[in-house]
Structure 1
């Protein structure tokens, strides 16, 4: 399985560090986030990566070159001209991702979730998309039915929502990790700059999108300074 790591973002919540460097190179206990996630996925046998770049793109490319790509194969999806958000960035990288299901992960997420179990879950459900989710505090939640099938989205800050099934059974937070079948590209109707959640909200009405609940495992969004002390406690 290939993996794509989103490393193009501006990282404004990690300023002042990101005024001079990309958030993917933010160090936790001396080791940059991007390195941690390459090594984490590599430990589950993933050897081929796509990494998108925009903010201080040269620094990411130089970092990978200096470290011999950490012993894996890496292709760069270049967004220097325009930052395309998660959905647009994924579509731009389409030709690099192959014809088999692939994993996508945000560079500023740290977790000890068992990737092998996540892959097995995706295969067993024959899903178009599988989303890693957990029961934790978040301003936005995904809604799932009794079979863990996606049926909506809710913004807890302003009450905005998209609900396909009003009888949803649980609300869980998206963890920034997903497995996607390449059939997604044929079904997606969005282009340009867009959030990946937009096509997911459309496709949940007609296709299999499931949530993989990993609440029993650690997960931390290190895209904000207030998360750093806990990150350094959890991830040595």
Structure 2
């Protein structure tokens, strides 16, 4: 399986730190955030990694190179100055990702989830890793009903869970798309309506490292346990 790390975001909530350093290169517990992902992927045998970038993307390529330092093979999908959003960014990188399902990881999250637990094959179009709702996103995103991710639940007692930013996608999810800037969520919701999105809930450690405060949270945990 190949993996893609999404690294094209501007990091507005982390300014001024991201004015001169792209968000994936911000240090967390002694190493750039994106390196935690690279190491975790390589540790489970995923060596072929695609990284998209936009804002200050040249710094990312200069820092990571071809990935040899971590036993990875990294290729890049540059998007220019204007990031293509998640859907458009993945679509642009499809020629680099191949015909099989591939893993996508948001570059601004940290987790101790074991990527080897994700499915290598899909019966549908996507498999999403959901997490319990953090305090800053208490209402969640999607329902998980019988291992199927849904935008609506027939059971009013069900609670929404938060999408972790980690998923496995079939290239067929993007079959009717055209190049350009577009979000991923509408594609997922259409697939959910056809019951073609499976999922699981992870209750371990996961942090959206999107603000200075949550970056500090991830750093405290990593210094203590890594």
TM-score by length of 1: 0.86
Equivalent in the alignment of 1:134: 131
Shift, 1:145, TM fit: 4.9
1:55 and 1:81 mapped to 2: Cα distance?
6
Q: Which residue of 2 aligns with 1:178?
A: 167
| SS in structure 2 at match of 1:235 | helix
Q: Equivalences for 1:183-194 in 2 at 5 Å?
A: 183-186=172-175, 188-189=176-177, 191-194=179-182
Residue in 1 aligned with 2:72?
Answer: 72
Task: Verify the 8 A CA contact 1:128 1:207 in the aligned structure 2.
Answer: no
For the pair 1:223 / 2:210, whether they are aligned, the reply is yes
Q: Which moved more, 1:95-104 or 1:176-185?
A: 176-185
How many matched pairs?
220
Q: Aligned partners of 2:101, 2:69: CA distance in 1, in Å? A: 22
Give the match for residue 157 of structure 1.
none
- 1:13–1:93: structure 2 CA closer, same or farther, 3 Å change rule? same
Gaps of 5+ in 2: none
Is 1:150 equivalent to 2:149 in the alignment?
yes
Runs of 5+ consecutive residues of structure 1 not aligned to the other structure = 153-162
Aligned partners of 2:172, 2:96: CA distance in 1, in Å?
Answer: 14
Q: Is the 8 A contact 1:142 1:150 kept in 2?
A: no
1:101 matched to 2:101? yes
Partner of 2:193: 205
Instruction: Report the Cα offset of residue 218 of structure 1.
Output: 0.3
In the TM superposition, what is the alpha-carbon distance from 1:68 to its structure 2 partner?
Answer: 3.6
Give the SS at the match of 2:193: coil
SS of residue matched to 2:150: strand
Aligned partner of residue 24 in structure 1, secondary structure:
helix
CA drift at 1:191? 4.8
Structure-2 residue corresponding to 1:92: 92
- Relative to structure 1, the CA distance from residue 101 to residue 67 in structure 2 (aligned partners, 3 Å threshold; closer, same or farther) is closer
Runs of 4 or more, structure 1, over 6 Å off, are none
- RMSD value, Cα: 2.0
